[in-house]
């Protein structure tokens, strides 16, 4: 399967099954389009046939010199022989292995506080309460969660624990105590905990910052961008905006981590479809690791992204990609999470076929110790999988998640981005599409656009470095 | 090649051989929490 597209003056040919990216000239782009029109599953043999050469001459002979067409066809044939173009999809048989393998739990999202000191309008946790009551996780429950993780992680050494909420800083002493417990246990069991925390920054102070820097592999700090954008969606419960209080703290935190191992993360909504301005604002504030993600919400939510918003969103991603190239070339580059793509050292096929891991390798734990497939399912009793006392009591839920992949999802089968999103977010599919085996179309459209932009940026930067 | 510049030579099918250790980061633990971003994770073995 081949996906070809033009962006920012580059003609890009992505060979989906090998992951190879080719930047081609106009002539070659046209030749590949003709070849695909004739047969999407060309082989080195078929490309050498008289019929193919005849077709190329007939369709493009008036536009381009014959000699040039011949050269291009030879190049295409050479890449096909090398397994870098027209590569067939031979991965489906591996799905059986991926589904059958015994998965271990390697990551927990600990809902350390179902309470929040902000009242963000789009919060899927309903201002921290997740359709339930306000609650803080006790040290005892957290300890049992870490014990469960160690006991169920098999030979996996690196274990991930994200302190999430609500707002985890509202239960900070328990966070500190659990980190201490984890450090003690990791020595005993030959494990390594990678702790992370996601915070709105309201309670951030020097002491907390020092602890984060000492113990946390990554910290996600939440801000939506420009002051008016942030304060509209992320107010305190009294309606006052949060920007002025948190921005200086976030700048200090990012600098104290040498601008590494953190993400400043925002959400864009229908109210700021010009979100490239918010990314620029992050850059202007000096941040180097950033993410701005589309809100997910019900169509009836006034801030939710609608299909009719997509053209403008695509334009914004294009603008942003060009801005990133410009900044990179000036030596002022930064990472935009959704455009990060590692063409040489990205995830292996096994990872790409197994998806996000929710419900199998990754579980969310509520303040009272219940397990859910991920943070976005918390509060939906249909997905309650067990608890820290009894372990997994409904393994059939894990099985259902394990069996969702890009070959079982009808919408993924012919999508060029399937090995980049790995089937997409299960929670989005369940909540906003037809179920776990479906896909959230608006999210897919945006993901495809982001993959195209990410690859184009690689092409542009490769050219600059020449 | 005159008409084509290939950006990467590491192919997906080559990763079958080394893949599957599972030590890499879970995608939602990195930054997203609301989307799925497997493709932009890094292989633990290539670090």
> With 80 as the cut, is the pLDDT of residue B19 above it?
no
Give whole-number Cα distances, A412 to A80, A392, A428, in Å.
24, 30, 15
- Considering only CB atoms, which residues of chain B are within 8 Å of chain A? 1-13, 15-16, 18-20, 22-44, 46
Provide, rounded to the nearest whole percent, the portion of chain A with pLDDT above 70: 100
> Å from A398 to nearest chain B CA?
16
CA atoms within 13 A on the CB side of A221: 31
Residue A435 makes CB contacts below 8 A (sequence gap 6+) with A429
Q: How confident is the model at residue A19 (pLDDT cuts 50, 70, 90)?
A: very high
**Consecutive H or E run containing A268:** strand A262-268
Classify residue A306 by burial, with Cβ atoms within 10 Å: 0-12, 13-18, 19+.
exposed
Average pLDDT on A423-437 reads 94
Whether the pLDDT of residue A66 is over 90: the answer is: yes
For the question of whether the overall pTM of this predicted structure is more than 0.80, the answer is yes
Query: With 70 as the cut, is the pLDDT of residue A271 above it?
Result: yes
Quote the minimal CA–CA distance from B42 to chain A in Å.
5
User: CA nearest A202: which of A169, A251, A154, A239?
Assistant: A169
CA distance B41 to chain A (A): 6
Does the beta-carbon distance from A348 to B43 stay under 8 Å?
A: yes
Which ipTM was obtained for this model? Answer: 0.94
Cβ-nearest to A350 among B9, B19, B39: B19
Q: Quick one: pLDDT at residue A280?
A: 98
Return the biggest CA–CA distance within chain B: 43
Q: Is the model's pLDDT at A98 over the cut of 90?
A: no
Q: What is the pLDDT of residue A131?
A: 79
Provide the pLDDT for residue B45: 82
**Residue that has been written with the tokens 């180097």 in this structure:** A288
Cα distance from B11 to chain A (closest Cα, Å)?
Answer: 5
CA A393, CA A383: separation in Å to the nearest integer?
11
Give me the sign of the Cα torsion angle A176, A180, A183, A186: negative
- What's CA A133's distance to the chain center, in Å? 30
Residue B8 to chain A, least CA–CA distance (Å) = 6
For range A200-214, the mean pLDDT:
98
* CB pair distance less than 8 Å for B9 and A84: yes
pLDDT tens string A336-379? 999 999 898 789 998 898 889 999 999 999 999 999 999 999 99
Which of A65, A347, A444 is the best mutation test for B, with the most CBs of B within 10 A?
Answer: A347
Residue B14: pLDDT band by 50, 70, 90 thresholds?
A: confident
Q: Do A79 and B4 touch (CB under 8 A)?
A: yes
Q: Is the pLDDT of residue A269 over 80?
A: yes
Inter-chain contact A462–B26, Cβ cutoff 8 Å? no
CA distance A279 to chain B (A): 15
Question: With 80 as the cut, is the pLDDT of residue A425 above it?
Answer: yes
Query: Residue A56's pLDDT is what?
Result: 98
pLDDT score of A406: 93
Q: What is the average pLDDT score of chain A?
A: 95
Q: Which residues of B touch A337 (CB under 8 A)?
A: 30-32, 37, 40
B2–A75 CB contact, under 8 Å: yes
**Inter-chain contact B31–A263, Cβ cutoff 8 Å?**
yes
What integer pLDDT is reported at residue A331 of this predicted model?
Answer: 96
A312 pLDDT band, cuts 50/70/90, is: very high
pLDDT at A466: 59
Scan for tokens 């209080």, then name that residue.
A245
Residues of A in contact with B2 (CB under 8 A): 71, 75
Cβ-contact A364, A372 below 8 angstroms: yes
- Determine which helix (DSSP H) or strand (DSSP E) holds A335, and give its type and residue range: strand A335-336
Query: Per-residue pLDDT tens for A27-51?
Result: 999 999 999 999 999 999 999 999 9
Chain B residues within an 8 Å CB radius of A421:
35-39
Would you tell me how many other CB atoms lie within 10 Å of the CB of residue A45? 11
Integer Cα distance of A341 and A337 in angstroms: 9
CA-CA distance, A129 to A116, in Å (whole number)? Answer: 8
Tens of pLDDT along A233-268? 999 999 999 999 999 999 999 999 999 999 999 999
Is the peptide bond prior to A414 cis by the omega test (within 30 degrees of 0)?
no
Picking from A18, A25, A355, the nearest residue to B3 by CB comes out as A25
The answer to whether residues B22 and A361 touch, using CB atoms and an 8 Å cutoff, is yes
Q: Is the pLDDT of residue A151 over 70?
A: yes
pLDDT at residue A175 tops 90: yes
The class level of CATH for A105-339 reads: alpha beta
Own/partner contacts of A174-181, CB < 8 Å, gap of 24 or more, are: A174/A112, A174/A136, A174/A137, A174/A138, A174/A139, A174/A142, A175/A112, A176/A211, A177/A139, A177/A142, A178/A110, A178/A139, A178/A142, A178/A143, A178/A146, A179/A211, A179/A215, A181/A139, A181/A142, A181/A143, A181/A146
Least CB–CB distance from B4: residue in A18, A22, A357: A22
pLDDT in tens, A104-121: 999 999 999 999 999 999
Angstrom CA distances, A421 to A88, A134, A302, A412, A446, stand at 20, 33, 27, 10, 11
């Amino acid at each position: 399967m081949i996906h070809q597209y033009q962006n920012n003056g580059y003609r890009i040919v992505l060979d989906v099954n090998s992951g190879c990216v080719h930047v081609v000239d106009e002539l070659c782009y046209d030749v590949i389009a003709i070849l695909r029109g004739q047969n999407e599953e060309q082989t080195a043999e078929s490309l050498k046939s008289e019929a193919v050469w005849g077709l190329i001459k007939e369709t493009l002979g008036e536009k381009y010199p014959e000699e040039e067409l011949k050269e291009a066809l030879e190049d295409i044939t050479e890449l096909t022989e090398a397994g870098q173009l027209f590569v067939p999809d031979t991965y489906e048989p591996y799905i059986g292995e991926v589904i059958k393998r015994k998965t271990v739990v390697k990551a927990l999202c600990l809902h350390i506080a179902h309470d929040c000191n902000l009242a963000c309008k789009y919060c899927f946790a309903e201002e921290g309460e997740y359709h339930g009551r306000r609650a803080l996780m006790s040290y005892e429950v957290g300890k049992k969660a870490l014990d469960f993780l160690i006991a169920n992680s098999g030979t996996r050494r690196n274990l991930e624990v994200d302190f999430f909420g609500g707002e985890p800083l509202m239960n900070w002493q328990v966070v500190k105590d659990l980190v201490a417990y984890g450090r003690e246990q990791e020595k005993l069991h030959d494990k390594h905990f990678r702790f992370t925390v996601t915070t709105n920054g309201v309670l951030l102070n020097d002491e907390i910052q020092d602890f984060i820097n000492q113990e946390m592999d990554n910290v996600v700090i939440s801000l939506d961008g420009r002051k008016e954008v942030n304060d509209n969606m992320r107010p305190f419960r009294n309606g006052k905006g949060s920007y002025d209080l948190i921005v200086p703290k976030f700048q200090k935190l990012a600098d104290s981590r040498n601008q590494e191992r953190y993400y400043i993360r925002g959400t864009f909504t229908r109210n700021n479809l010009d979100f490239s301005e918010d990314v620029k604002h992050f850059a202007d504030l000096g941040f180097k690791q950033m993410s701005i993600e589309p809100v997910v919400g019900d169509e009836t939510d006034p801030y939710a992204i609608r299909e009719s918003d997509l053209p403008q969103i695509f334009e914004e991603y294009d603008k942003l990609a060009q801005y990133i190239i410009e900044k990179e070339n000036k030596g002022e580059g930064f990472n935009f999470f959704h455009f990060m793509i590692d063409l040489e050292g990205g995830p292996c096929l096994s990872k790409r076929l197994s998806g996000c891991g929710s419900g199998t390798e990754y579980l969310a734990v509520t303040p009272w110790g219940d397990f859910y497939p991920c943070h976005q399912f918390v509060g939906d009793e249909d997905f309650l999988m067990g608890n820290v006392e009894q372990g997994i009591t409904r393994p059939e839920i894990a099985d259902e998640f394990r069996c969702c992949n890009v070959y079982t999802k009808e919408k993924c089968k012919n999508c060029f981005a399937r090995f980049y999103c790995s089937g997409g977010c299960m929670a989005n599919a369940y909540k906003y599409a037809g179920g776990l085996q479906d896909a959230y179309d608006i999210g897919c459209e945006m993901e495809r656009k982001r993959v195209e932009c990410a690859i184009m940026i690689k092409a542009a930067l490769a050219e600059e470095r020449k | 090649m005159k008409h084509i510049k290939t950006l990467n030579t590491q192919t997906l099918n080559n990763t079958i051989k080394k893949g599957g250790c599972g030590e890499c980061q879970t995608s939602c633990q990195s930054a997203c929490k609301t989307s799925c971003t497997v493709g932009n994770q890094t292989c633990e073995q290539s670090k």
